[in-house]
Amino acid sequence: MKKALKIVLSIVISVYLILIVFTTAFLLNRNDYGVSSFAGRYLVLVEDEGIEDYSNNTLLFISKVDNKNIEIGQKAFFYDTYSTDHKIKYAEVVRKEEINEKETTYVLKDNSSVSSEYVLGTKESTSAHHFLGQLLYVLQSKWGFLFLVVFPLFLAFIYEIYAIYKEIKNNKQ
pLDDT digits (tens, 9 = 90+) for 136-159: 888 888 899 899 888 998 998 999
Q: How much is the pLDDT for 7? A: 92
Provide the pLDDT for residue 39: 79
Portion of the chain with pLDDT greater than 90, in percent: 16
Tell me: the pLDDT tens digits for 7-46? 998 999 899 889 888 888 888 888 888 888 887 789 888 8
According to DSSP H, which parts of the chain are helical?
Answer: 2-28, 130-140, 142-145, 151-172
Please tell me what DSSP assigns to residue 150. Answer: I
pLDDT exceeds cutoff 90 at 170: no
Burial 117-148 (b: 16+ CB within 10 A, else e): eebbbbbebbebeeebbbbbbebbeeeebeeb
This prediction has a pTM of 0.78
**How confident is the model over 56-77, as pLDDT tens digits?**
889 899 998 887 788 888 898 8
